[in-house]
Amino acid sequence: MSDTVLILGATSAIARATAAAFAAKGNDLYLAARDKDELERTAADLQIRYGVKVSYGLFDAEAIETHEPFFQDVVQEMHGISGVVLAFGFLGDQLAARDFKTGAKIIANNFTGAASFLSICANYFEPLQFGFIIGITSVAGDRGRQSNYVYGAAKGALSLFLQGLRNRLFSSGVRVITVKPGFVDTAMTFGMPGLFLVASPEYVGNRIVGALNKSSDIIYLPWFWRYIMLIIKHIPEFIFKRMKL
């Protein structure tokens, strides 16, 4: 069986750090994203640093009609894959998202596109009784907030989808891990006001790969976000709606 890991949204800071952590373990990689030039640079850098095979291809999360042929091409080129990391996401303009034409794009990228591709991955791994799926969602999906409820709703739906997929694939021996990062120092969060407890992409990438050696189904990164969100989720609604979060 191939030891190749397919990474979707591979040009993001978290995905690059995760790819580096897998490459350091000796895994071959297939990187997928929309930016061909950045994919080429990232693949060349990983090959030079770690001496593993790194291939890449263009991928559009919202073009769901392309997902099945894309996946089959990857499997054929790499002679099978052993795992998938879904790292793409689109924050979008949350004020503009009050117009659903904009909000629909956020949902299409963060949930519909993700669910489409993960369904294909699940159907591939299930009969093999082998493999793993790691889906990166967000703490934003744990409770709806006025500042980003469209993005949060899409990520929350993805978390539920992964939960169901984990339940479905458990008996086949396929791991499904949900990753919920808090604030991470990436292009998505650059310049955002009010950020605190910001983690580095390298920290997050190493913990994502390390999660495969542990039994947890859901990991918060850094770990303390589990307890921050536990508090936030238990704030009564009549208080929460007055907090302007």
pLDDT tens digits for range 2-26: 699 999 999 999 999 999 999 999 9
% of residues, the chain, pLDDT over 70: 94
pTM of the model: 0.91
Confidence label for 194 from pLDDT (cuts 50, 70 and 90):
low
Q: Is 29 a residue whose pLDDT tops 90?
A: yes
Domain ranges of the chain: 5-241
What is residue 173's predicted lDDT score, i.e. its pLDDT? 96
Burial state string for 91-127 with b = 16 or more CB within 10 A and e = fewer than 16:
bbebeebeeeeebebbbbbbbbbbbbbbebbbebbbe
Average pLDDT over residues 21-36: 96
> What digits encode the pLDDT tens for the residues 81-100?
999 999 998 888 777 878 88
User: Closest Cα to residue 76, out of 103, 104, 55, 97?
Assistant: 55
CA atoms within 13 A on the CB side of 11: 17
What is residue 92's predicted lDDT score, i.e. its pLDDT? 80
Q: In sequence order, what DSSP letters do the residues of the chain get, joined into one string?
A: ----EEEETTTSHHHHHHHHHHHHTT--EEEEES-HHHHHHHHHHHHHHH---EEEEE--TT-GGGHHHHHHHHHHHHT--SEEEE-------TTGGGSHHHHHHHHIIIIIHHHHHHHHHHHHHHHHT--EEEEE--GGGSS--TTTHHHHHHHHHHHHHHHHHHHHHGGGT-EEEEEEE-SBSSTTTTT-TT--SPBPHHHHHHHHHHGGGS--SEEEESTTHHHHHHHHHTS-HHHHTTS--
- Contact in structure between 218 and 178 (CB atoms under 8 Å): yes
**C-alpha–C-alpha distance, residues 15 and 208, integer Å:** 10
Please count the residues of the chain: 245
Greater confidence, 219 or 97?
A: 219
Confidence label for 50 from pLDDT (cuts 50, 70 and 90):
very high
CATH 3.40.50.720 fits 5-241, yes or no: yes
Cβ atoms < 10 Å from Cβ of 19: 29
What is residue 189's predicted lDDT score, i.e. its pLDDT? 59
CA 100 to chain centre: 24
